Chains A and B, each alone.
Chain A
Amino acid sequence: MIDQLHQRLQALQRGPGIKGRPGTLPFGVPAIDTMLGGGFVLGALHEIAATGETHLPAAIGFALAVAKRAVPSLRLIWISEDMAFAESGAPHGSGLDAFGLAPEQLVTVSAAHRRDLLWAMEEALRCGATTAVIGEMRAGTIDGVAIRRLSLAAAESGTLAFLLRTKPPGDASTAATRWLVGAAPSIVTGASRLAAQLVRNRRGPTGAWILEWSGSDGQFILATHAQPLAAPTLDRPHRQVA
Chain B
Amino acid sequence: MLSLWLRRLSTDRIVRSRKHETSVPLVVTGKRGNVEVLTATDDAARRLGLTSGLALAQARAMHPGIDVVAENIEADAALLDSIADWSLRYTPLVACDIPDGLLLDVSGCAHLYGGERELIADLSSRLEKSGFAYSLAIAGTIGAAWAAARYGEPANYACGEERNVLTPLPLSALRLPPAAVASLARVGLKRIGDIVDLPRAPLTARFGPDVLRQLDRALGHEHEPLTPRLPVARYVAEQRFPEPIGREEDVLAITVRLARRLQSALERRGDGIRRIELSLFRTDGVVRRIAAGTSRPLRDPEEIRALFVERLAVLADALDPGFGFDMARLSVLIAEPCPPEQIGIAGGEDTAELCRLIDRLSARLGPRRVRRLVAQDSHIPELAETALPAQTFNDDTGWSTFRRYRKEIDLPPRPLRLLARPEPIEAVAEVPDGPPLRFRWRCTLHEVVAAEGPERIEGAWWSEHGGPARDYFRVEDKSGLRFWLFRAGLYRDRANVSGTPAWFLHGTFA
B residues in contact with A185, CB < 8 Å: 449, 476, 478-480
Which of B148-156, B208-216, B370-378, B426-434 binds A?
B370-378
Tell me if A55 and B481 are in contact (CB < 8 A).
Answer: yes
Can you name 7 extra interface pairs (CB under 8 A) apart from A98-B406, A192-B509? Answer: A93-B399, A97-B402, A104-B397, A183-B480, A185-B449, A190-B413, A190-B452
Which of B199-207, B266-274, B417-425 binds A?
B417-425
Number of interface residues, chain A, beta carbon within 8 A: 59
Tell me if A95 and B353 are in contact (CB < 8 A).
Answer: no
B residues in contact with A61, CB < 8 Å: 416, 509-510
Asked if B38 is at the interface of the complex by the 8 Å CB criterion, the answer is no
Interface residues of B (CB under 8 A from A): 347, 350-354, 356-358, 360-361, 364-365, 369-373, 375, 381, 384-385, 387, 390, 397, 399, 402-403, 406, 411, 413-420, 444, 449-452, 474, 476, 478-482, 507-510
Tell me if B365 and A92 are in contact (CB < 8 A).
Answer: no
Q: For B387, give its contact among A56, A90, A189 (CB under 8 Å).
A: A90
Interface string of A87-111 (1 = CB under 8 A from B): 0111111111111001110111111
Tell me if B375 and A89 are in contact (CB < 8 A).
Answer: no
A residues in contact with B375, CB < 8 Å: 93-94, 103
Which of A54, A112, A128, A194 is packed against the most chain B CB atoms within 10 Å?
Answer: A54
Tell me if A54 and B390 are in contact (CB < 8 A).
Answer: no
Interface string of A189-214 (1 = CB under 8 A from B): 11011110000000000000000010
B residues in contact with A92, CB < 8 Å: 381, 385, 414-418, 507
Q: For B509, give its contact among A65, A95, A184 (CB under 8 Å).
A: A95
Output the least CB separation between B485 and chain A (Å): 13
Tell me if A89 and B480 are in contact (CB < 8 A).
Answer: no
Question: Could you tell me the dominant secondary structure of chain B's interface residues?
Answer: mixed
Q: For A192, give its contact among B357, B381, B482 (CB under 8 Å).
A: B482
- Give me 10 A-to-B residue pairs in the complex whose CB atoms sit less than 8 angstroms apart, sorted by A's number: A96-B373, A98-B413, A99-B510, A103-B373, A103-B375, A109-B361, A116-B364, A123-B357, A129-B351, A195-B480
| Closest residue of A by beta carbon distance from B355 | A129
A residues in contact with B452, CB < 8 Å: 189-190
A111 to B375, CA, bound (A): 23
A residues in contact with B369, CB < 8 Å: 109-112
A13 to B360, CA, bound (A): 30
Tell me if B373 and A91 are in contact (CB < 8 A).
Answer: yes
Interface string of A70-85 (1 = CB under 8 A from B): 0001010100000001
Asked if A32 is at the interface of the complex by the 8 Å CB criterion, the answer is no
Asked if A169 is at the interface of the complex by the 8 Å CB criterion, the answer is no
B residues in contact with A128, CB < 8 Å: 353
Output the least CB separation between A92 and chain B (Å): 4
Tell me whether A95 and B415 are in contact in the complex, defined as CB-CB below 8 angstroms, given that A61-B510, A104-B372, A123-B361 are known contacts. yes
| Closest residue of A by beta carbon distance from B441 | A54
- Listed from nearest, the 8 A-B pairs whose CB atoms lie closest are A61-B510, A89-B417, A129-B353, A183-B480, A92-B418, A94-B414, A129-B354, A57-B508
